Amino acid sequence: MSERQTVFITGASSGIGRACAIRLAEAGCRVYGSARKGPPIEASRNLNSGESTGDSSLPYSFFHIDVRDEKSVADAVSFVATEAGRIDAVVNCAGISVGGSAEEMLIDEARDQLETNFLGIVRVCKAVLPVMRRQQFGKIINISSLAGLMGVPFQSIYSATKYAIEGFSESLQMEVAPYGIRVVVIEPGNTATEQTENRKMSAGGAPGSVYEPALSRVMTEQARSERAGWPPERVARVVEKIVRSRHPHFRYKFGPFVERISPAVRRVIPDRLFIKIVASFFGM
């Protein structure tokens, strides 16, 4: 990179977020990674200057953020902007997934996914946009999913949050383009990350539920597909390309051809047929 760029990443404790933080730090960026599991902000000060504060095993600053909390987000963005003097790119990776039927999903479980996956991105954008407008440049990279282009059985709320990211990002790009800000959406297919093991199942699904047989088949197939998916480092390479690019595309689909082509297929076949095909793929 011709100059050292400052990149702020959420969800950097694992998966795609961690892979992006490592990749961009190794590429010469000044990287500030954050996650709910991170240490207090004070523990990360000056790590980008080479001092051994924070977690010295990481090639980037790493600190706590809770994207569900507006003050936590504002404090994190203020810290990065003050210490680095600029924010060239934000990569929104924070996300959670709860499996279960729409009927049995607890409202608190649905709310937590919405607060983290979607409203977390909204909070980060609201905090970082004043900085980027003053600079007259910046990139906002939102990690969506192919599940934001097609529904996934027994992950209805997760899909809903990803659909929300799609619409929000399109609207946002139109609003901020006059200020030199680019919005980019990445839509990964199945990716081999810790989310497979960390995924919680809804507490609303009681033993003997009418949904239990189908739910078991679907989640087993989902886990198998994810473990066989592309590694998060491949997504990180795409993110590095976007950060480097002067004119990135708005949307990047990521994954094997059969996954990337699925949203296009649905435009040329009847909806009912497409839904049946997807259900069959998941063993329903």
In angstroms, the Cα distances linking 258 to 175, 196, 253 are 34, 21, 12
Residue 184 included in any domain: yes
pLDDT, mean of residues 71-75: 98
Strands 98-99 and 6-10, how do they pair? unpaired
By 3-state DSSP, what share of the chain in percent is helix, strand and coil, each rounded to 5? 50, 15, 35
Q: Which of 13, 72, 159, 202 is catalytic?
A: 13
3 state DSSP class of 138: strand
Q: How confident is the model at residue 25 (pLDDT cuts 50, 70, 90)?
A: very high
Gap between the Cα atoms of 97 and 212, Å rounded = 18
* pLDDT value for 45: 54
Query: Is residue 273 over pLDDT 70?
Result: yes
Active-site residue among 60, 145, 162, 253?
Answer: 162
| Predicted local distance difference test score (pLDDT) of residue 266 | 81
pLDDT score at 50: 44
pLDDT tens column, 79-129: 999 999 999 999 999 999 999 999 999 999 999 999 999 999 999 999 999
| Contact of 219 with 100, CB cutoff 8 Å | no
Going by C-alpha positions, the residue among 176, 206, 189 that lies closest to residue 263 is 189
Out of 32, 158, 163, 252, which one is annotated catalytic?
A: 158
Residue 52 binned pLDDT confidence (cut-offs 50, 70, 90): very low
Active site residue 202: no
For residue 209, give every residue at least 6 positions away whose Cβ sits within 8 Å of its Cβ, in sequence order, or none: 101, 104, 215
* Alpha-carbon span 67 to 76, nearest angstrom: 10
Residue 262 has pLDDT above 90, yes or no: no
CATH number at residue 198: 3.40.50.720
Query: Is 165 contained in some domain?
Result: yes
Angle between the 15-26 and 232-244 helix axes, to the nearest 10 degrees?
50
Number of structural domains found in the chain: 1
Catalytic (active site) residue 158: yes
Number of Cβ within a 10 Å radius of residue 250:
11
Residue 264 banded pLDDT, cuts 50, 70, 90: confident
Residue 1 located in a structural domain: no
Q: Mean per-residue pLDDT for 167-172? A: 98
Interval 237-260 mean pLDDT: 90
Helices (H), the chain: 15-26, 70-84, 107-113, 119-135, 156-176, 195-198, 212-227, 232-244, 257-265, 271-281
Of 34, 44, 72, 144, the catalytic one is 144
Reply yes or no on whether 13 is catalytic.
Answer: yes
Residue 19's alpha-carbon distances to 76, 93, 165, 174, 232, in angstroms, are 20, 10, 21, 29, 6
**Which amino acid, residue 140?**
I
What's the pLDDT at 49?
47
Query: Would the pLDDT of 158 be above 60?
Result: yes
pTM, two decimal places: 0.91
Based on the residue annotation, tell me whether 162 is a catalytic residue of this protein. yes
Domain that holds residue 171: 6-281
Has residue 139 been placed in a domain?
Answer: yes
In the prediction, which pLDDT does 44 show? 67
Q: Which residue has the higher pLDDT, 43 or 157?
A: 157
Above 50 in pLDDT, residue 144?
A: yes
Residue 51 pLDDT? 41
| Mean pLDDT across the chain | 91
Per-residue pLDDT reduced to its tens digit, 225-244: 889 889 999 999 999 999 99
Residue 112 lies in a domain: yes
Lowest-confidence region among 9-23, 46-60, 186-200: 46-60
CB 153 within 8 A of CB 106: no
